[in-house]
C-alpha cells in the first residue's frame, strides 16, 4: 500500500516475524469483515459511522497505532456501547488485536491497516469522543523527529474530529517525547491539559489499562508519562 501523499512516515517496518497459523486464519477470515477501506482521496465522502458499525447513536473512539491491541481490546470489551476504530500499519499488531477480540468476543471494533493520516479525512468532523495515542515510536534521532505522529498538524486534524469536550489521551516512556508532546499540545488553542496536580502526568486512570509496551517500560524501571487533554468547546 503506497501513501497517496509523499511525506514522512511515523511507523517503522510493516511486518515482523511470520504469523502463526491461528493469526493467519484470523487475518484472512476476520479482518476483511471489519477492515476499513479508503474511498477516493480526490473526492472525499465522509464515512457514515452508523452504517460502518451497523448501529446508531453510539460514541466513536479512535486509537492511533494500537500496537499489540491490548488496550483497544480491553476498551472494546468494557465499553460495548462504544464504537472503536483502531489504526495500525504493523500486520503483527493487527493479528494480535484480532486474537484478543477472538478471545473476548467484542464486536464493536473496526480496523484501518495503514497510515491513519490517510483515513482521517474520511472521518466526519466532530465525530470522535476519545482519541488514544499510546506509546508511539519516539524516533529518538533529531533528524527523525519529523516522523513523530504528535505534530501541530496532527493536533489540528484531531481537534476537527473530536466533539466538544472530547478527550485526547497520550502516553510515552520517553521523557524527550513527553516534553515534545507537552510543548505542542499545552499551547494549542483548542486543547486543555486535564492535569489536576503536578504528579498527574505519571498516573493512569482506572479506565486506562496497561499495554504490552508499557509493561516492558515498567520492567526496565522507566516511568511512563500519561497525558489527558480535552477538546475545548467550539465558539
Could you list the residues known to form a binding site for substrate, using ranges: 141, 173, 211-214
Nearest C-alpha neighbor of 96 from the set 65, 64, 70: 70
- Rounded to whole angstroms, the Cα distance separating 95 from 118 reads 21
Nearest C-alpha neighbor of 78 from the set 211, 167, 227, 209: 209
Which distant-in-sequence residues (6+ apart) come within 8 Å of 229 by Cβ? Answer: 167, 168, 169, 170, 185, 191, 192, 193, 194
Binding positions are 63, 88, 115, 137, 141, 173, 211-214
Considering the candidates 40, 103, 118, 137, report the single residue annotated as catalytic.
137
Would you call 156 a catalytic residue per the annotation?
no
Binding positions for S-adenosyl-L-methionine are 63, 88, 115, 137
DSSP class of residue 141 equals: S
- Rounded to whole angstroms, the Cα distance separating 137 from 105 reads 29
Catalytic residues: 137
Amino acid at each position: 500500500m503506497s501513501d497517496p501523499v509523499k511525506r514522512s512516515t511515523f511507523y517503522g517496518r510493516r511486518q515482523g516475524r511470520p504469523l502463526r497459523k491461528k493469526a493467519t486464519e484470523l487475518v484472512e477470515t476476520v479482518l476483511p469483515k471489519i477492515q476499513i477501506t479508503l474511498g477516493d482521496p480526490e473526492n472525499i465522502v465522509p464515512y457514515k459511522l452508523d452504517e460502518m458499525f451497523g448501529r446508531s447513536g453510539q460514541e466513536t473512539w479512535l486509537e492511533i497505532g494500537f500496537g499489540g491491541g491490548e488496550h483497544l481490546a480491553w476498551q472494546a470489551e468494557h465499553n460495548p456501547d462504544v464504537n472503536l476504530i483502531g489504526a495500525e500499519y504493523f500486520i503483527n499488531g493487527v493479528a494480535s488485536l484480532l486474537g484478543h477480540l477472538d478471545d473476548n468476543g467484542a464486536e464493536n471494533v473496526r480496523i484501518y491497516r495503514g497510515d491513519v493520516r490517510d483515513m482521517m479525512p474520511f472521518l466526519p468532523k466532530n465525530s470522535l469522543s476519545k482519541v488514544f495515542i499510546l506509546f508511539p515510536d519516539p524516533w529518538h534521532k533529531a533528524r527523525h523527529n519529523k516522523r513523530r505522529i504528535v505534530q501541530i498538524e496532527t493536533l489540528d486534524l484531531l481537534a476537527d474530529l473530536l466533539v466538544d469536550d472530547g478527550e485526547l489521551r497520550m502516553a510515552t516512556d520517553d521523557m524527550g517525547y513527553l516534553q515534545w508532546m507537552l510543548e505542542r499540545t499545552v499551547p494549542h488553542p483548542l486543547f486543555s491539559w486535564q492535569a489536576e496536580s503536578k504528579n498527574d502526568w505519571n498516573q493512569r486512570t482506572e479506565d486506562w489499562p496497561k499495554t504490552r509496551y508499557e509493561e516492558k517500560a515498567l520492567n526496565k524501571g522507566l516511568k511512563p508519562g500519561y497525558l489527558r487533554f480535552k477538546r475545548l468547546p467550539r465558539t
